[in-house]
Structure 1
Amino acid sequence: MSRIDESKEFVPVRIAVLTVSDTREAADDRSGDTLVERLTAAGHILAARTIIRDERAKIAQQLREWIADPAIDVIISTGGTGLTGRDVTVEAHRDVYEKEIDAFGTVFTIVSMKKIGTSAVQSRATAGVAGGTYLFALPGSPGACRDAWDEILALQLDYRHRPCNFVEIFPRLEEHKRRK
């Protein structure tokens, strides 16, 4: 099972939070607030935060801008992962992925099943890597953000987590670009 190796030093990660919504503003962005509270309480750094409407091209453009920013290691978006016509976050994420982290959606579904039962099938949570940056697309509810952070991301974004974690392979995400 997983564990935290207390003999290792914690490594803070620089995380950007993107809320995708046609209706939310900073004053009522509860899902974004949930993510910010959790990531900062864990010792990570909030590198950027914004809200964007459910428009695929705009979402993908924001993702690309943050991927290009060397001060951002991870992007977590919330909202737009459902099944309605305006839910295009997953498509925008996939527009920029170099590699998809297929198991993330599966693990998120398992976590969600414990909380909301078969309603978990309505989520299209996804994750991937682009430009040496991890990207995670979460549903737009505070509960889903809590579950994803507490059950998956808090551990995988902790360098001390064993047997493995996302942080320890940061240096290798773009090794294919190095000259041999």
Structure 2
Amino acid sequence: MSHVHQDTAFTSLGIAVLTVSDTRGFDRDGSGDLLSERLSEAGHALVERRIVPDDIYRIRAVVSKWVVRDDIQVILVNGGTGFTPRDTTPEALTPLFDKAVDGYGELFRQLSFESIGASTIQSRAVAGVANRTLIFSMPGSPRACATAWDGILASQLDARTRPCNFVAMVLPESTRCGSRDPETAPDHGQGVQA
């Protein structure tokens, strides 16, 4: 079980929020509102927020522009993860990944099962790393976004979380899993990034 290490300083990350929807505008984007509020309350910076239609190439275009920006370390994408013909978020994102974070989708569905039961099987939540930028997708309902943020992202985007977090993955000056000594940081099969 993870815990917060009080001797480590909190690190604010630059986060972009992308809502995928054919019908929502900013006045009705409860999921984008929720994610923006949660990340700000946690101490991170909302760098940019956009809404794009359910279109594989528009989604990919926005995310591609964001992964090359130095001020964005994390991208949160909500919507388009189901099975309708217009749900193409996973197809838009996965070709961009340098590495997939398979455990994210698995854990999201496990947590979601507690509230919606077997219907969670229809969620195709995916995550990965592209150009040292973390990308997490989730269903477009505020409830699903709360599950993703509260159950996974809040702790994994906090440098104080032990035994491991993702901050070292996106900030080159950090070391994996919070150790300041690259010689003693746990490897977990991926090596230490300094």
Q: Could you say which TM-score interval applies, normalised by the shorter chain?
A: over 0.9
State how far apart, in whole Å, the 2-side matches of 1:101 and 1:8 are.
25
State how far apart, in whole Å, the 2-side matches of 1:93 and 1:169 are.
18
Deviations 1:46-67 (A, max 9, x none): 0110000011011101010000
Corresponding residue number in structure 2 for 1:143? 143
Q: Are 1:60 and 1:95, in contact at CA under 8 Å, matched by a contact in 2? A: no
Q: Which runs of 5+ in 2 are unaligned?
A: 174-194
Give 1 or 2: higher helix fraction: 1
State how far apart, in whole Å, the 2-side matches of 1:123 and 1:5 are.
32
Which has the bigger relative contact order, CA under 8 A and spacing at least 6? 1
Q: Are 1:16 and 1:74, in contact at CA under 8 Å, matched by a contact in 2? A: yes
State how far apart, in whole Å, the 1-side matches of 2:162 and 2:75 are.
22
Q: Are 2:102 and 2:126, in contact at CA under 8 Å, matched by a contact in 1? A: yes
Tell me whether 1:68 sits opposite 2:57 in the alignment.
no
**How many residues were matched structurally?**
173
> Equivalent residues in 2 for 1:114-153 (5 A)?
114-153=114-153
State how far apart, in whole Å, the 1-side matches of 2:15 and 2:26 are.
18
TM-score, normalised to structure 1's length? Answer: 0.94
Shift of 1:95: 2.1
Q: Kindly, what percent of the aligned residue pairs are identical?
A: 49
Shift of 1:98: 1.2
TM-score, normalised to structure 2's length? Answer: 0.87
Corresponding residue number in structure 2 for 1:78? 78
Q: Are 2:78 and 2:140, in contact at CA under 8 Å, matched by a contact in 1? A: yes
Corresponding residue number in structure 2 for 1:41? 41
Corresponding residue number in structure 2 for 1:161? 161
State how far apart, in whole Å, the 1-side matches of 2:11 and 2:95 are.
29
State how far apart, in whole Å, the 2-side matches of 1:121 and 1:169 are.
29
Corresponding residue number in structure 2 for 1:8? 8
What is the letter of the counterpart of residue 62 of structure 1? V
Shift of 1:7: 1.2
